Amino acid sequence: MAEIKCTELCKTYHQGDAEVRALDHVTLDIDPGAFICLSGPSGSGKTTLLNAIGGLDELDSGQISIDGERVDLLAKGPLADLRLHHIGFVFQAYNLIPVLSARENVEFVMQVQGVSARERGAKAMAILKEVGLEGMEDRRPAELSGGQQQRVAVARAIVSRPTLVLADEPTANLDSSSAKQLMELFRELNENHGVTFLISTHDERVMRYARRLVRMQDGRVISDDQQAGVIE
């Protein structure tokens, strides 16, 4: 499980002469085993917040800690180690390696972690089946639809059972059936394995799974509500 504390996070981008406040004094505490959705219009700061928590974006100011360790103060080596062993990322752009098959893309992180070829192969095949890609293991990204590529990206993010998953619009390219399958998998990992989930989304189907809904606008948290997470 991962406990996250964000305190007074600020991040500003410059677009020409304009200054855009992507994060404007955001404070957010996330309990271990939480299942949280971030919602809000494009440009509200959802993706920037995920990237900051994952150590992908540097802050102008503020503090982020995961399980008591200050992420914003980590050097490159320890930060890379944290991401490799404890955080699973699901990006909007998939970030798959085009010359590798679906199975090889899923295996890649485990290979870097030093998992044996036999074990990582078995785990990759099992997780691809779990996300509905059985029989497509040897296809490269160009041979897969957008939704299938997204499922490969999800499989890669969760195959090592990280303590924290940061997912940016994970259902954006999925049909209703695939989106439901994915969210059921996320819920199973959350409830049975204690994985903490922080998901940015515009998708009402995803929001229904959340036990906490945080709404953002103009780089600020405008509401933070507990909900039942009841699926209709």
* pLDDT score of 232 more than 70: no
> Quick check: 101 and 129 in contact, CB under 8 A?
no
Cα atoms in the 13 Å half-sphere on the side-chain side of 172: 18
Tens of pLDDT, residues 18-61? 888 999 999 999 999 999 999 998 889 999 999 999 999 999 99
Superfamily of the domain at 4-226: P-loop containing nucleotide triphosphate hydrolases (3.40.50.300)
Mean pLDDT, rounded, for 122-147: 91
Lowest mean pLDDT among 36-45, 129-138, 171-180: 171-180
The mean of the pLDDT values for the chain is 89
The pTM is what? 0.88
Q: What is the pLDDT of residue 2?
A: 77
Mean pLDDT, rounded, for 160-172: 89
pLDDT range class, residue 1, cuts 50, 70, 90: low
Q: What is the pLDDT of residue 220?
A: 95
Q: What is the pLDDT of residue 179?
A: 84
Tens of pLDDT, residues 217-228? 999 999 998 876
Lowest mean pLDDT among 6-15, 18-27, 178-187: 178-187
pLDDT range class, residue 90, cuts 50, 70, 90: confident
DSSP string, 102-161: HHHHHHHHHHHHT--HHHHHHHHHHHHHHTT-TT-TT--GGGS-HHHHHHHHHHHHHTT-
- Sign, CA dihedral 163-39-8-61, equals positive
Mean pLDDT, rounded, for 139-152: 90
3-state DSSP call for residue 8? strand
Q: Which residue has the higher pLDDT, 216 or 175?
A: 216
> Quick check: 195 and 164 in contact, CB under 8 A?
yes
Q: What is the pLDDT of residue 93?
A: 76
Distance (Å, whole) CA 220 – CA 214: 10
DSSP single-letter state for residue 173:
T
Tens of pLDDT, residues 61-73? 999 999 888 998 9
Contacts of 78 (CB under 8 A, 6+ apart): none
